[in-house]
Amino acid sequence: MSVLISKEKKVKNKEFHPNILCFCCNWCSYAGADLAGVSRFQYPSTIRIVRVMCSGRVDPSFILEAFKDGIDGVIVTGCHIGDCHYLKGNEFARDRFERFQKTLKLFNLDKRFRLEWVSASEGKRFAEIITEFTNQIKELGPLRLI
Amino acid sequence: MEKIGAILVIGGGIAGIQTAIDLADSGYKVYLAESTTSIGGVMSQLDKTFPTNDCAICILAPKLVQTGRHENIDILINSSIEKIEGTPGNFNVDLTQRTLLLDHNKCTGCGLCAQECPIEAIDFFNEKLSNIAAISVKFPQAVPLVFSINKEKCIGCGICKGICKAKAIDYELQNELISLNVGAVVLAIGFDEYDPTPLTQFGYGKHLNVITSIEFERILSASGPHSGLIIRPSDGIIPKKIAFLHCIGSRDRKHRIEYCSSVCCMYTAKEAVIAKEHMNIIEPTIFTMDVRAYGKDFDKYIERAKDEYGVRYIRRRISSIKEIPESKDLKVYYETGNGKIIEEIFNLVVLSVGMQPNHKAKELARKLNIQLNEYGFCKTETFAPVETSRPGFYVCGAFAAPKDIPETVIEASAAAGCVNVLLSEARNKLVSKKELPVELDVSNQPPRIGVFICHCGINIGGVVNVPSVVEYVKTLPDVVYAEDNLYTCSADTQTNIKEKIEKNQLNRVIVASCTPRTHEPLFQATIREVGLNKYLFEMVNIRDQCSWVHMHEPEEATAKAKDLLRMSVAKASQLIPLQEQEITVINKGLIIGGGVSGMSAALNLASQGFEVFLIEKEEILGGFANKIYRTLENDDIQEYLKDLIKNIENNQLIQVFKKAKINSISGYIGNFTTNVTYGNNNKNVDLEHGIIIVATGAKEYQPKEYNYGKDQRIIPQTEFENILFTTDKVKTLNSIVMIQCVGSRNEEHPYCSRVCCSEAIKNALKAKEINPNIEIMILYRDIRTYGFKEKYYNLARENRVIFIRFDEKNPPELNIKNKNLKILINAQDLGELEINPDLIVLSTGLVAPIKENEDLAKMLKVPLNEDKFFLEAHVKLRPIDFATDGIYLCGCAHSPKDLRESIAQSNGAAAQAVKILSAEKIVTSGLVATVIEENCIGCGSCLEVCQFNAIELIKTERTFEDITMTIKKSHVNPALCKGCGTCGVQCPNSTIIIKHFGFEQINAMISALLVQD
Ligand code: FES
């Protein structure tokens, strides 16, 4: 069964169909993704969302884990700065990932990672960001770790 | 006489449901009497709801289930009221429960009987568009889920009786008389849809392809007669051109229906949009007089309907419809501006029917001795919007006036708020606590996961291949059971889930359906009822993340659903039971804003004995109401305001802080601390309270348009009102022009301010009263006198107030020549006009105080919408709450609204707040952080990031051989911890467990993302 899925993808998409991990915080960006759904804003079926309570929960180690597994891109989303349901979780996330981005750069992975803020009323923006990030990963091609 | 802590709610639509839940949650026993066989009302018949296009049954079903399973609510279906006697606080009720010919306590709702019944009856739920068996259930998600026999149709063959395993069917069952003793009565009997048969020019009932909007709603619905396929009645062909006709049975004085039904403009736009969405070839056209999109975010919806969905609006009333005999198409006639008659052919015509008083209203009113208004709706007063003419009897929803769902929900809570005031001394006298089975200890068992996958009608199943997902899930590790459901959230599925848990000894449950943000609590409660800890549950959102965003790629959507489920299963294997924390509540409230809304909420709370801190930034109470003298209905606002302020200031329990500024707000539901500076001497206090109500209001737009501020003859409506009510100046004027929508419905403020049309008409009428010869022209885009306000629009026209419509792209222009005011306007039907008024009155809109709202929103950690008004938890069903517990919203801080609506919402906010204030203890979430002490090195990094002071470094002395050392260990206080998880990332030793979102759980999801070949 599992083999079937990956085959399906290959047959249907001669083009590269990236696998992207997307973290959403429960309060804003997950709600934004819901609104994209409710409003039927279409975006590429490349992301798999993992819901966490706050972007401040996302440990950089998760991102490394994802790349190690061969996931082509990771996007972390949260509330806009100032809107975090837990006051500053997203500020901590921002600081951590700014530093982390430098580490990723050493491995040439920085373009495969993104941090974005999406509010509960930005369904459209959510769809746009995903579309855009997908295109970016497509440009880069499949992740190959040496 | 002793007050009784029980309430009778009559009517089980969304209004009655909301009141029942609010009261039952606040410590009262509630009897919910419903005349049909299920609660849910008209909302359960709707396909989608505006302006969010939320699926109606999706958001309603959890409420139905919650009501059905609430330990303090008894639902009395199929019942009618005989008589009610007594005094406020203590009434005796007689009601009849008509027989279903089966025992509803025994019926399991399995539906076997309906499959075997040989007789077909008409399906009223589907607006007679289809047939069902003579024994049937009202709709699939019905609560309670019981069948009933259609007496007229049943031939008594006995097949159902023979087949019923539960032995529920009993043809001999008689009607039952029930007597109740209650303290108050809430009337929520709703409305009827207008029957357009008398309007013969439209041929409803004669032409097959002329249908009503509610019939069309059923056609759109996935669970409707054609499973969501849009086909027309005559021949089952997809109608390409659909015409929607507004104001059928509304704004029609000829047929003595003067009022506006308030909701038709919006639901028509919605139906047009959804139709287009279902089938792109459909071309909707809407014929209208005014587009009354006056609610929060409504105008944006209309703009989207026009621009994105290509819905065509034509501002004409249709004079007649003729059927083309061969094709059954419809020829529609309308007049253009210059008197030319145009004919156009449509394949289907939908009549947007208005709201009528419930056909039972008259009789009920007579029985209960309640007054109705001139239109047959329940009579209420502006300043007491949910009180009927009989003390102890309250009203909410469409029985009081036509209105939409959020306003109905607001009023329902308001009614609960008023009942609270009447019955607070009898609270908690008649309620019982729900007995839950002891939690099973599953900690040492290997995971046994059960997965329930929802079709959501066709919302998911129409795109995602659900059966193949079920088959796939069965192959995943630890999954011992998987099935699909038409609606996983319906009451019968809850029973089914419980059975499956027990039968298969499941110890982890996954539901793949819609969003956990709305539905997780429902399923958690379900699994808890069979002894599973509620945190042994996971939800996968295959609707918002699969079927709705990949509508045109079913294979991709299906593959994604499988991936998401694989990830969820991986996480579920790692779930452990969590414990919740009890916290004590400070029984005091903080209300921000001392306008009418804030004061009404304060009085409501104080009259139940709760202490209130009322924060006002100005030197005086009253807010915007200080500037208005009368309502459109001519109620004396200043008089009312004076009384209100006096009541506030004389109330011992209310502490008012004027010239006050909030510096900080900390804490959480039940235990907030707010720092306030107030008064002339800038005193500073810390206030402790359990809830917060935001009632900060809105402010008047300061026009940049029309030379405002530079010429004294150009003034805003409030200033004009001041002139009208305090001077004679109007006697000296010859002509006045009022310009509507100044600072509303434009790019900067893309919303309607809702009150300006009525304000203009009110002032125009007053000016005419003072000076009958004065010429008044109102230049407008749409006149939005919704509901009963329409009467005054008509009155104004009778008094020769002239209304001239302009297009938004062509607003009136002002020229000042030789000191004379000159207005140039391109009137739609009249061409270019020039007017030379003495006075120009600008109907300026209401805007949010941006800076103030942004600051407050930050302190409260609650969101604002795009227009900077506060954003409620859910536009449709939670219009008073924020997503953050313990904080509520009312008045113009939510969106522009009139006094009546503000007062209703503030009583509603008080009702929500009382649920918390009246509880001694509340239970907090089990989603918290906890430190594994052995590994903690006491570095304190976690302390630095925690915003809630939930972490402490605890020093302990340890003695090793002869040396004594102090070591520090972090400790998380679970009552303060909010579970955000930031500390877990900060900890250098990774020794903080973020429950439910721990390393094992998230890493398991990540490694399951890709299929392992
Ligand atoms: S809750 Fe959204 S980022 Fe913190």
CB contact under 8 A, A89 and B997: no
pLDDT digits (tens, 9 = 90+) for B459-513: 899 999 999 999 999 999 999 999 999 888 888 899 999 999 999 999 999 999 9
Looking at residues B936-959, what average pLDDT do you find? Answer: 89
Helices H / strands E in chain B, number of each? 23, 52
Q: What is the pLDDT of residue B1012?
A: 66
Residues forming CATH 3.50.50.60 domain(s) in chain B: 1-98+175-190+358-434, 193-356, 584-698+848-921, 700-846
CB contact under 8 A, B560 and A120: no
Residues of B in contact with A71 (CB under 8 A): 1006, 1009-1010
| The CA-based dihedral angle spanning residues A43, A44, A47, A53, taken in that order and rounded to the nearest 10 degrees | 0
Residues forming CATH 3.40.50 domain(s) in chain B: 449-572
Task: Assign B750 a pLDDT band (cuts: 50, 70, 90).
Answer: very high
Task: Assign B223 a pLDDT band (cuts: 50, 70, 90).
Answer: low
Looking at residues B134-143, what average pLDDT do you find? Answer: 80
Domain that holds residue A135: 16-140
Q: Domain B449-572: give its CATH code.
A: 3.40.50
What percent of chain B is predicted at pLDDT more than 90?
Answer: 76
Q: HSE of B554 in the Cβ direction (CA atoms, 13 Å)?
A: 11
The answer to ipTM > 0.85 is yes
For residue B998, the distance in angstroms to the closest alpha carbon of chain A comes to 9
Q: What is the pLDDT of residue B889?
A: 97
CATH number for the domain that contains residue A89: 3.40.50.960
Phi first, then psi, for residue B910 (nearest 5°) are: -60, -40
B365 CA to centre of own chain: 27
Residues of A in contact with B981 (CB under 8 A): 52-54, 56-57, 89
Q: What is the pLDDT of residue A5?
A: 32
Nearest CA in chain B to A19: B1010
Strands B210-212 and B341-346, bridge-based pairing: unpaired
Q: Is residue A146 part of a domain?
A: no
Looking at residues B452-456, what average pLDDT do you find? Answer: 93
pTM, entire model = 0.83
Task: Assign B107 a pLDDT band (cuts: 50, 70, 90).
Answer: confident
Asked whether B856 and B696 are in contact (CB, 8 A), the reply is yes
Number of domains chain A is built from: 1
Q: If you measure from the C-alpha of residue B339 to the centroid of ligand 1, how many angstroms do you get, rounded to a whole number?
A: 59
| The CA-based dihedral angle spanning residues B165, B167, B168, B169, taken in that order and rounded to the nearest 10 degrees | 100
More confident residue, B762 or A1: B762
Q: Is residue A11 part of a domain?
A: no
Q: What is the pLDDT of residue A14?
A: 57
pLDDT digits (tens, 9 = 90+) for B499-552: 999 999 999 999 999 989 878 988 999 999 999 999 999 999 999 999 999 999
Q: Give the Cα separation of B203 and B245 in Å (integer).
A: 13
Q: Which amino acid is at B203?
A: G
Q: Domain B193-356: give its CATH code.
A: 3.50.50.60
For residue A80, the distance in angstroms to the closest alpha carbon of chain B comes to 10
Strands B393-395 and B184-187, bridge-based pairing: parallel
Asked whether B690 and B886 are in contact (CB, 8 A), the reply is yes
Q: Domain B929-994: give its CATH code.
A: 3.30.70.20
Q: Is residue A50 part of a domain?
A: yes
Strands (E) in B659-791, as ranges, are 661-668, 671-678, 683-689, 691-694, 699-700, 714-716, 735-742, 775-780
| Residue B956 pLDDT exceeds 90 | no
Q: What is the pLDDT of residue B168?
A: 86
Q: What is the pLDDT of residue A9?
A: 41
Does residue A32 line the site of ligand 1, with CB under 6 A?
no
Nearest CA in chain A to B868: A121
Asked whether B284 and B244 are in contact (CB, 8 A), the reply is yes
Kindly state which CATH superfamily the domain B1-98+175-190+358-434 is placed in.
Answer: FAD/NAD(P)-binding domain (3.50.50.60)
Looking at residues B768-778, what average pLDDT do you find? Answer: 96
CB contact under 8 A, B984 and A57: yes
pLDDT digits (tens, 9 = 90+) for B893-912: 999 999 999 999 999 999 99
Residues of B in contact with A113 (CB under 8 A): none
pLDDT digits (tens, 9 = 90+) for B971-995: 998 877 889 999 999 999 999 999 9
Q: Is residue A5 part of a domain?
A: no
| Residue B98 pLDDT exceeds 80 | yes
Q: What is the pLDDT of residue B770?
A: 96
Task: Assign B163 a pLDDT band (cuts: 50, 70, 90).
Answer: confident
Looking at residues B34-50, what average pLDDT do you find? Answer: 91
The answer as to CATH 3.20.20.140 being correct for domain B700-846 is: no
| Residue B606 pLDDT exceeds 90 | yes
Q: Which amino acid is at B827?
A: A
Size of chain A in residues: 146
Looking at residues B166-181, what average pLDDT do you find? Answer: 91
Q: Is residue A58 part of a domain?
A: yes
Q: Which of B262, B269, B274 is nearest to B285 (CA)?
A: B269
Does residue A75 line the site of ligand 1, with CB under 6 A?
no
Task: Assign B761 a pLDDT band (cuts: 50, 70, 90).
Answer: very high
Mean pLDDT of the residues in chain B: 93
More confident residue, B435 or B207: B207
Does residue A100 line the site of ligand 1, with CB under 6 A?
no
Q: What is the pLDDT of residue B336?
A: 79
Does residue A24 line the site of ligand 1, with CB under 6 A?
no
B143 CA to centre of own chain: 20
Looking at domain B584-698+848-921, which of 1.20.140.10, 3.50.50.60, 1.10.1040.10, 3.40.228.10 is its CATH number? 3.50.50.60
Q: Give the Cα separation of B250 and B258 in Å (integer).
A: 6
Residue B577 CB contacts under 8 Å (≥ 6 apart), including other chains: B439, B442, B443, B533, B535, B536
Q: Is residue A36 part of a domain?
A: yes
The answer as to CATH 1.10.1200 being correct for domain B99-173 is: no
pLDDT digits (tens, 9 = 90+) for B315-350: 988 989 999 999 999 999 998 777 788 999 999 999
Nearest CA in chain B to A32: B544
pLDDT digits (tens, 9 = 90+) for B821-861: 999 999 877 788 999 999 999 999 999 999 999 999 989 87
Q: What is the pLDDT of residue A2?
A: 30
Q: Is residue A127 part of a domain?
A: yes
3-state secondary structure string, B357-404?
Answer: ECCCHHHHHHHHCCCECCCCCECCECCECCECCCCCEEECHHHCCCCC
Establish if B852 touches chain A: CB-CB under 8 angstroms: no
Structure tokens at B808: 């938004």
CB contact under 8 A, A66 and B515: no
Strands B449-454 and B479-485, bridge-based pairing: parallel
Mutate to test the interface with B, among A45, A100, A126 (most CBs of B within 10 A): A45
Does residue A109 line the site of ligand 1, with CB under 6 A?
no
| The CA-based dihedral angle spanning residues B601, B607, B610, B613, taken in that order and rounded to the nearest 10 degrees | 50
Q: Which of B773, B770, B738 is nearest to B756 (CA)?
A: B738
Q: Is residue A2 part of a domain?
A: no
| Residue B813 pLDDT exceeds 80 | yes
Q: Which of A27, A50, A56 sits opposite B1002 (nearest CB)?
A: A50
- Touching B: A residues 54-83, CB under 8 Å: 54, 56-62, 65-66, 69-71, 82-83
Does residue A117 line the site of ligand 1, with CB under 6 A?
no
Please, what is the end-to-end C-alpha distance for chain B in angstroms? 76
Does residue A89 line the site of ligand 1, with CB under 6 A?
yes
Q: What is the pLDDT of residue B222?
A: 67
Q: Give the Cα separation of B76 and B35 in Å (integer).
A: 8
3-state secondary structure string, B293-338?
Answer: CCCCCHHHHHHHHHHCCCCEEECCCEEEEEECCCCCCEEEEEECCC
